[in-house]
Structure 1
Amino acid sequence: MLHTDPKDIGRRKAALDVLAAAPARELAAVWDAWADKPDFTRIRGPETGLVMVRGRAGGGGAPFNMGEASVSRASVRIVTGQVGHGYCLGRDLAKAEVIAVIDALFQRAPEAVEAEIVAPLAALAQRGDQHKRDETAATRVDFFTMVRGDN
């Protein structure tokens, strides 16, 4: 039985976060550039289901069910034995399967996957976030109070 090194669990979670949040087109482009794609067998899916989205009133109040969201998932085993799992919002079955294969590869060679797949996608997300911050900052209005006379 194969196990992930405990120190890699946080890195693996961070990588899965980036992969799940990445736009499908960019993920596909980075994956297409990966030269050594492994053969794999499907364990589960890919399939689409629903998850309950929970919220809190005011950010700290009692939790409540907001509604359901579509989620795609897949589990695969690559030829070297590692099992990968992929989840993403929406109904993109191909994206969930690619995430699962990359997750399995991450368990085999985390440095290579981080450098060639995760880092470019994280940089893309960071540029997108910075662009949104810049657009928001451009609309900022500074309010101040002027005092008239002795009042």
Structure 2
Amino acid sequence: MEGATASGPHEPTLPPEQQARRRWMSVLARASAAALEDALSTLRGAIGALPSHRLIRRPEIGMAMVRGRAGGTGRAFNLGEITMTRCTLQTADGFVGSSYVAGRDQRQAELAALLDALLQDPARRDRILSLVIEPLARAQAQQRDRRVARSAPTRVDFFTVVRGEDRA
């Protein structure tokens, strides 16, 4: 798979199209319903009316097991369950979009699935990436940076202390 990269030490190598979709799905899953509404409003203003859609799987609320890795790269373990909402829909022009979002916001899941379906259309993709995904990704990065900066003063660095009886 030329040009493909792995997302981590335990991730398979993916083709560029799948990497791109993974990225926009991640951004959409982290965006609030209000941010997605604003993004769709901006999109309507830029490209006109959006295609109608029908729900294949109405937004459903359920649970998902969250897995973690010791040290971020070690052995996987079950961390716990979170509430998730999923949705799948199809646009009038035949593109299918899906979403899985943390929490119980059914509107958020539907809007994320709609944007995923619109992004499946190669004719619309670049415009939607620049008008919707990139601004959302920048806002999410800025929010993450602010959170890191706020918590930085409370950071504790741990180190190994040699106990007295272990000394030679």
Q: What secondary structure is seen at the aligned counterpart in 1 of 2:93?
A: coil
Corresponding residue for residue 110 of structure 1? 125
Which stretch shifts more, 64-73 or 54-63? 54-63
> Shift in Å at residue 37 of structure 1?
2.0
Match of 1:124 among 139, 153, 156: 139
Matched to 1:74, the amino acid is C
Match of 2:19 among 10, 15, 22: 10
Q: What secondary structure is seen at the aligned counterpart in 2 of 1:44?
A: strand
User: Over the residues paired in the alignment, what is the CA RMSD in angstroms?
Assistant: 2.2
Matched to 1:125, the amino acid is Q
> Shift in Å at residue 80 of structure 1?
0.7
Matched to 1:121, the amino acid is L
Aligned length: 137
> Shift in Å at residue 111 of structure 1?
0.3
Corresponding residue for residue 146 of structure 1? none
Unaligned runs of 5+ in 2: 1-14, 158-168
Summarize deviations over 1:113-133 as a string: whole Å, max 9, x none: 101110110110111122223
- Contact 2:32 2:108 (8 Å CA) reproduced: no
Q: In structure 2, what is the Cα distance between the partners aligned to 1:53 and 1:137?
A: 26
- Contact 2:59 2:106 (8 Å CA) reproduced: yes
> Shift in Å at residue 8 of structure 1?
2.3
Corresponding residue for residue 22 of structure 1? 31
> Shift in Å at residue 79 of structure 1?
0.7
Q: In structure 2, what is the Cα distance between the partners aligned to 1:16 and 1:141?
A: 33
Which stretch shifts more, 80-89 or 58-67? 58-67
Q: In structure 2, what is the Cα distance between the partners aligned to 1:106 and 1:61?
A: 34
Match of 1:38 among 48, 51, 58: 51
Matched to 1:96, the amino acid is A
Q: In structure 1, what is the Cα distance between the partners aligned to 2:148 and 2:60?
A: 35
What TM-score do you get using the length of structure 1 for normalisation? 0.79
Corresponding residue for residue 103 of structure 2? 90
Q: In structure 2, what is the Cα distance between the partners aligned to 1:116 and 1:58?
A: 36
Q: What secondary structure is seen at the aligned counterpart in 2 of 1:80?
A: coil
1:141/1:92 CA distance change after superposition, 3 Å = closer
1:69/1:41 CA distance change after superposition, 3 Å = same
